[in-house]
Amino acid sequence: MRLVLAEQEGALRMDRSTAHAELLFHEAIGKANIRFHKAVAEATRNPLAIMVLQAISEPLIEVSRRTNEMPGVPEAGLRQHWAIYRAIRENNPEKARHAMRVHLQAAERNAHSLQDHAVAPPPVNVASPSAKSEESA
């Protein structure tokens, strides 16, 4: 788990000054994020937790990619991951539950923020072909 956090820290130090560099950053931070979550699930030794994470991995990757584009979110996520890791390392279940709850609440807020700021698609012109020919006449 510590290696995954180091990988996440490395991603945060990546250059993001060009569109290509930004793309590479999001790919690296996304991979590190999902690897951390898998490591946490495996640390529980709970087959159900592992199975649930596997089931939600694809949507998690997509939401994580989008929320990590929000300012400060990747850095906050790393801080939250460190808190979770320390609690697990200390074998402190209550502290781990609290750290994970904080992380999940932040993720939920970020996802809601994405929904609140989503741009509506442009309206589709559903006029029939006969309506168009009437307009041009």
Checking if the pLDDT of 133 tops 90, the result is no
62 confidence band (pLDDT: 50, 70, 90): confident
The beta-carbon contacts of 7-13 under 8 Å, at least 24 apart in sequence, are 7/31, 7/32, 7/35, 8/32, 8/33, 8/36, 8/77, 8/78, 8/81, 9/78, 11/74, 12/74, 12/75, 12/78
Tell me what pLDDT residue 116 has. Answer: 81
C-alpha to C-alpha distance for 81 and 10, rounded to whole angstroms: 14
3 confidence band (pLDDT: 50, 70, 90): very high
**Is the pTM value of this prediction over 0.85?**
no
Name the percent of the chain lying above pLDDT 90: 65
C-alpha to C-alpha distance for 50 and 34, rounded to whole angstroms: 12
pLDDT tens column, 82-91: 999 999 999 9
Domain map of the chain by residue range? 2-117
